[in-house]
A and B are shown apart, each in its own frame.
Chain A
Amino acid sequence: MITHVYALKEMRRRKYRTATNIAGFVIVVATLVALVTTARGWEAVTAAPLKEIGTDLIMIYSAPVVPSGYGCYIANHLFSYPFNQNNLVEMANVAGVDRAVPVLMHRMGAIVFTGIDPCETETNAVLPKNVVEGRYLAPDDGAVALVDREYARLNNLTVGSNVVYMEVEYEVVGLVNVDAANILESHIYVTLPVCQKALPEDSTGLANIALISVSDPRKVDEVSEELVSRWPRATPITASDLAATTSGVLTIGEETAWNISIALAVVAVLFTIRSQLAAVSERTREIGILKAIGWSRSDVVSQIFIESTLQGAIGGILGGAVGYGFAWYFLSTMGGFLAVDPVVLAAGFGIALISGVAAGIYPSWRAARLTPAEALRAV
């Protein structure tokens, strides 16, 4: 159809206007893609230490902690008020909680010593997937331990040798490689009963950490509030708490990102309407000529629509690329993961396209409204 040729040529003739209209759509889509992707990438980063051990929420029974970074983060603040293992059963029964896994962590000097329930193989301070040599712990294990690979290397420990903690010897049955991001990172892991017995206080049946997994990840904050209201001395740690510890980084939620983009889209539509109206009024005589030679209203309307929709589409594609560029830059400076999500891209493109169509409605109505004789009188 000649309307397409005409639309393209018009866009080329009015390069500056076309470029600014497209730029408006680029800003909308780039903002959407950059903010959403960055928000997600950043969420993934902050949730990583929890994901690593299969939990959504950690409850520490201790004096209030001042978060101070990763590593022995938790162990540094431990041991004021341990849990009774019965509490864990109660926690598991709280609405929204899938499971509550007990962990007992102890620290002596620079060495962190942790007791785990080996039956918990999905949510735990150390998981079977972390074993790089030897085996994982078993429920009826006695004085045997898993040792952090790095700690083993520094102390010349191998599978089969003995490691000492508080004057008790444990046989090393496995070496584990725990991600540095794991906030429950320890040097030595034993079963929970063995750990309870090893401690100087009478710790039978006690734990000081509960790893909570929730049934709906979006309800973490609700669950956390509920748990704290029932166990007021417990301190919760969620992904957003971890995010808050990283100062100097702007963290915005995904929902905010969408809202900002929609607001920008409205601005871009108004901007494009204004510019297309100017284009229509400059072209009034041309529109009159086209009507005089037999173009229908809908031919004229589709002409204006093609222009604004095409501008929206081009803006949408460029905006997607620019947005990922920004997201990549933000995340690489913050240490996040960039994930290209086709849904976000498609949504960005869709918003630009719909905005382009929306921006064409009023100007094309204006163009169609005049009779050919009226339009021809314009110079």
Chain B
Amino acid sequence: MNVIEAQNLSRIYRLKNGGEVKAVDNVNLLVPEGQFLTIIGASGSGKTTLLNLLGGLDKPTAGRIVVEGVDLSDLGEEALVRFRRKKVGFVFQAFNLIPTLTAVENVEAALAPTGMPKAERFERSMSLLELVGLKGQVDRLPVALSAGEQQRVAIARAFANEPQVLLLDEPTGNLDTVTGKEIMRLCHKASKERGQTVVAVTHAGYVKEYTDRLLYMKDGKFSNTVPEGELEEPVS
């Protein structure tokens, strides 16, 4: 069964000067349940735009997105909020966290709108932070965490509502190789344990170790062959 289905998906930005940017151009994509899909591509090729569409953060100009059998274009504002809350977990490249909230409060922020009781929310957040190896840093503000630690908090938060789909937009983009690998391993392991479907965008060469399928994106379209030198490091 395909958890994610995108048909003839397009997202065209209209510029103020009258021009257009076809950030996602008539894309078709099927992601089966449990697959770890990695998308790579040059800057500006439309990766973030695609992830935002899949996660219900943006509306397509044309085409259809079906996630777990639900057509996103059928969802009203409220249902879409519930979809983002329950069905998908997001990790962005950087500045994932609310700077004024501590690590544990940042995780709680994803649980609060579900109406979960405070005690339960706190406990769940603590155990998620423990899972990502941040047991001792729960009360720290983001500024007091390293970039890798901040990404771990973001991952813990993405897992908070046990979503079926995990969308990672360059989650290792700001990290050194060692830390980046750790983060990818964490995402990979946790998502496999939970049977989650993952769509990750990354430049990092080590992605091959963790990925089930690799797609290359260029000018808003997919191609199955990855050009030479596109990954930052040679695939080992």
- Report the separation of the CA atoms of residues A10 and B98 in the bound assembly, to the nearest whole angstrom: 10
CB proximity of B123 to chain A, nearest CB, Å: 15
Query: Closest 8 CB pairs between A and B?
Result: A294-B85, A373-B58, A9-B100, A2-B112, A372-B57, A373-B52, A293-B110, A373-B57
Asked if A95 is at the interface (CB within 8 A of a chain B CB), the reply is: no
The answer on a CB contact under 8 Å between A2 and B105 is: yes
Distance between A294 CB and nearest chain B CB, rounded to angstroms: 3
A295, B106: Cα distance in complex, Å: 13
Decide yes or no whether A199 CB sits under 8 A from chain B: no
Bound-state CA distance A2–B115 (Å) is: 10
- B57 and A371 within 8 A (CB): yes
Measured CB to CB, the closest approach of chain A to B114, in angstroms, equals: 7
Of B84, B114, B161, chain A has the most CB atoms within 10 Å of the CB of B84
**Alpha-carbon gap, A376 to B95, bound state (A):** 10
The yes or no answer to A291 lying at the interface (CB within 8 A) is yes
Cβ of A338 to closest chain B Cβ, rounded Å? 42
Which of A12, A297, A376 interacts with B57 by CB under 8 Å?
A376
Inter-chain residue pair count (beta carbon < 8 A): 77
A13 to B98, CA, bound (A): 12
State in angstroms the CA–CA spacing of A289 and B97 once bound together: 8
Residues 1-60 of A at the B interface (beta carbon under 8 Å): 1-3, 5-6, 9-10, 12-13
- Of the candidates A10, A13, A294, the one whose C-beta lies within 8 Å of that of B113 is A294
A292-B109 Cα distance, complex, nearest whole Å: 11
Q: Considering only CB atoms and an 8 Å cut-off, how many residues of chain A contact the other chain?
A: 27
User: CA–CA, A294 to B116, complex, Å?
Assistant: 13
Residues of chain A contacted by B97 (CB below 8 angstroms): 289
Residue of B with least CB distance to A5: B105
Q: Least Cβ distance of B94 to chain A in Å?
A: 10
Contact partner of A291 among B84, B100, B157, B161, CB < 8 A?
B84
Residues of chain B whose beta carbon lies under 8 Å from any beta carbon of chain A: 49, 52, 55, 57-59, 77-78, 81-82, 84-86, 90, 92, 95-101, 105, 108-110, 112-114, 157, 161
Asked if A285 lies at the interface with its beta carbon under 8 angstroms from chain B, I say yes
Chain B contact residues: helix, strand, loop or mixed: helix
**What chain B residues lie within 8 Å of A215 (beta carbons)?**
none
- CB of A286 within 8 A of CB of B113, answer no
Q: Indicate whether A294 sits within 8 Å of B100 (C-beta atoms), given known contacts A2-B105, A285-B95, A371-B59.
A: no
A286 touches B98 (CB 8 A): yes
List, sorted by A's number, 27 A–B pairs whose CB atoms are closer than 8 Å.
Answer: A1-B112, A3-B112, A6-B100, A6-B101, A9-B100, A9-B101, A13-B100, A285-B95, A286-B99, A289-B95, A289-B97, A292-B90, A292-B92, A293-B85, A293-B109, A294-B82, A294-B85, A294-B113, A295-B81, A295-B113, A296-B81, A297-B81, A299-B113, A371-B58, A372-B52, A373-B58, A376-B57
Q: Taking the nearest CB of chain B, how far is it from the CB of A15, in angstroms?
A: 12
Tell me whether A262 is interfacial, beta carbon within 8 Å: no
Max count, chain B CB within 10 A of own CB: residue among A2, A292, A295, A371? A292
In this complex, what residue of B is CB-closest to A373?
B58
Which residues of the other chain, A, contact B82 by a CB distance below 8 angstroms? Answer: 294
Q: What is the bound-complex CA distance between A172 and B92, given in angstroms? A: 99
A297 to B77, Cβ gap below 8 A? yes
Q: Which of A10, A13, A376 contacts B92 (CB 8 A)?
A: A376
Contact A291 B57 (CB under 8 A): yes
User: Could you tell me the distance between the alpha carbons of A297 and B97 in the complex, rounded to whole angstroms?
Assistant: 19
**Separation of A371 and B101 alpha carbons in the complex (Å):** 23
> What are the residues of chain B within 8 A of A374 when measuring CB–CB?
58
- A290 surroundings in chain B (CB, below 8 A): 98, 109
B106 to chain A, nearest CB (A): 9
The CA of A132 and the CA of B160, in the complex, are separated in Å by 82
> Which A residues touch B86, using CB under 8 A?
294
Give the distance in Å from the alpha carbon of A378 to the alpha carbon of B109 in the complex.
Answer: 20
CA distance A12 to B84 in the complex (A): 29
Contact A2-B57, Cβ < 8 Å, known A289-B98, A372-B84, A376-B92 = no
The residue that A294 contacts in the complex, of B52, B81, B99, B105, with Cβ under 8 A, is B81
Cβ contact within 8 Å between B57 and A292: yes
Q: Are A2 and B108 in contact (CB under 8 A)?
A: yes
How far is it, in angstroms, between the C-alpha of A379 and the C-alpha of B86 when the chains are bound? 26
CB B80 to nearest CB in A, in angstroms, measures: 9
Q: What is the 8 Å Cβ interface bit string for chain A, positions 270-292, against chain B (1 contact, 0 not)?
A: 00000000000000011001111
B219 CB to closest chain A CB (Å) equals 19
Selected from A5, A286, A293, the residue in CB contact (under 8 A) with B157 is A293
* Least CB separation from B87: chain A residue: A294
The answer to whether B99 touches A13 (Cβ under 8 A) is yes
Query: Which of B55, B57, B59 has the most chain A CB atoms inside 10 A of its CB?
Result: B57
What B residues does A3 contact at CB under 8 A? 112
Residues of B within 8 A of A294 (CB): 81-82, 84-86, 110, 113-114, 161
CA distance A373 to B86 in the complex (A): 18
Q: From B78, B95, B112, B161, name the one whose CB has the most chain A CB atoms within 10 angstroms.
A: B112
Instruction: Let me know if B157 and A296 touch, CB within 8 A.
Output: no
Bound CA–CA A6/B52 (angstroms): 25
Residue of B nearest to A293 (CB): B110
A296 to B76, CA, bound (A): 12
Residues of chain B within 8 A of A285, CB atoms compared: 95
